[in-house]
């Protein structure tokens, strides 16, 4: 990055560290925050974690989980910290999506927010902190969030829908052992479509990233399905060539 004071077109324009430091200090009137869109999957529905806004102005509205980034904190670390504080969880899939920087997006002042999304397995981690009515909402019912959180949510949801088709993210929403039916329900919930069961199975078996655990479901009121887990190490070694122009 280069600093360009207005009107300065001198080509011998070299700055000492001290000059740059004072430029940085005089310009840092912008606060930085992180907002997390945390997706989960339960009862064959895609869910998202929301809380009641703790700002008076948005008192009746739902809001994403976020916080200001501390001056000495990496932004990715801030996202992990928020996840940890809100869900008690570490080591989750977390992806930066977009940075929202409209001037008036936040009533408290100029706050630029970096949006992340994360996927967590609802079964494995019951929520322990329930402040501000923290709980899971069906993604379909998410409307009219506080701040510009609706836009952030929509962006993250769209990103998830795209990513889940290109990368095996979805497995982190499922139990360690899952049936193909559960996997298909997950994809149908995320993408909002119905898929042909036979073709779905064919596709996943052809990928050859599922490990047959030689176990079957229990306590289901019908013929139990076989259980699988995802072969991450095999997936990591694959080298996909991705040339395919298609608008």
What residue ranges bind DNA (CB under 7 A)? 179-181, 196-199, 201-203, 206, 216, 220-226, 243-244, 246
Q: Could you give the C-alpha distances from 173 to 67, 119, 165, 190, 236, in angstroms and in order?
A: 24, 6, 14, 11, 19
Residue from 2, 60, 143, 239 touching its own copies (CB under 8 A): that is: 2
74: contact with its own copies by CB under 8 A: yes
Q: Could you give the C-alpha distances from 107 to 51, 102, 104, 148, in angstroms and in order?
A: 18, 12, 7, 11
Task: Tell me whether residue 3 or residue 205 sits nearer to DNA (CB atom).
Answer: 205
Stretch that binds its own copies, among 1-9, 41-49, 173-181, 213-221 (CB under 8 A): 1-9
The set of residues, in sequence order, having a beta carbon less than 8 Å from that of 185 and lying 6+ positions away, is 44
How far is the C-alpha of 83 from the C-alpha of 95, rounded, in Å? 12
How far is the C-alpha of 61 from the C-alpha of 77, rounded, in Å? 27
57: contact with its own copies by CB under 8 A: yes
When CB distances are held under 5 to 8 angstroms depending on the partner's kind, the choice from its own copies, DNA, none that residue 90 binds is none
138: contact with its own copies by CB under 8 A: no
Question: CB of residue 194 vs DNA: minimum separation in angstroms?
Answer: 10
When CB distances are held under 5 to 8 angstroms depending on the partner's kind, the choice from its own copies, DNA, none that residue 122 binds is none
Residue 244 burial class via C-beta count within 10 angstroms: exposed 0-12, middle 13-18, buried 19 and up: exposed
Closest CA to 42 of 163, 171, 189: 189
Question: CB of residue 217 vs DNA: minimum separation in angstroms?
Answer: 7
Task: Tell me whether residue 1 or residue 214 sits nearer to its own copies (CB atom).
Answer: 1
28: contact with its own copies by CB under 8 A: yes
Question: CB of residue 215 vs its own copies: minimum separation in angstroms?
Answer: 24
93: contact with its own copies by CB under 8 A: no
Task: Tell me whether residue 24 or residue 216 sits nearer to DNA (CB atom).
Answer: 216
Check the CA dihedral 160-90-228-180 and report its sign: negative
66: contact with its own copies by CB under 8 A: yes
151: contact with its own copies by CB under 8 A: no
When CB distances are held under 5 to 8 angstroms depending on the partner's kind, the choice from DNA, its own copies, none that residue 3 binds is its own copies
When CB distances are held under 5 to 8 angstroms depending on the partner's kind, the choice from its own copies, DNA, none that residue 167 binds is its own copies
How far is the C-alpha of 111 from the C-alpha of 31, rounded, in Å? 5
Q: Which three-class secondary structure state does DSSP give residue 75?
A: helix
Stretch that binds its own copies, among 119-127, 161-169, 172-180, 217-225 (CB under 8 A): 161-169
**How many CB atoms are located within 10 Å of the residue 64 CB?**
29
How far is the C-alpha of 238 from the C-alpha of 232, rounded, in Å? 10
């Amino acid at each position: 990055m280069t600093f360009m004071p207005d009107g300065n077109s001198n080509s011998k324009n070299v700055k000492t560290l001290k000059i740059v430091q004072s430029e940085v200090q005089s310009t840092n009137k912008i606060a930085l925050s992180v907002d997390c869109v945390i997706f989960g999957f339960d009862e064959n529905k895609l869910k998202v974690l929301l809380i009641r806004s703790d700002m008076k102005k948005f008192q009746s509205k739902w809001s994403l989980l976020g916080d200001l980034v501390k001056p000495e904190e990496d932004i990715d670390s801030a996202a992990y910290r928020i996840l940890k504080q809100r869900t008690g969880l570490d080591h989750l899939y977390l992806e930066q999506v977009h940075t929202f920087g409209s001037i008036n997006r936040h009533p408290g002042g100029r706050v630029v927010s970096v949006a992340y999304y994360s996927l967590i397995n609802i079964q494995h981690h019951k929520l322990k902190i329930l402040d501000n009515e923290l709980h899971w909402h069906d993604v379909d019912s998410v409307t009219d969030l506080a701040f510009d959180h609706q836009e952030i949510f929509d962006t993250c949801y769209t990103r998830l829908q795209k990513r889940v088709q290109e990368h095996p993210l979805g497995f982190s929403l499922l139990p360690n052992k899952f049936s193909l039916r559960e996997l298909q329900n997950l994809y149908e919930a995320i993408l909002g479509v119905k898929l042909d069961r036979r073709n779905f199975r064919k596709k996943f078996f052809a990928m050859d990233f599922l490990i047959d655990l030689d176990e079957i479901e229990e306590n289901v009121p019908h013929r139990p399905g076989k259980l699988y887990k995802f072969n991450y190490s095999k997936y990591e070694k694959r080298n996909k060539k991705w040339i395919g122009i298609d608008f």
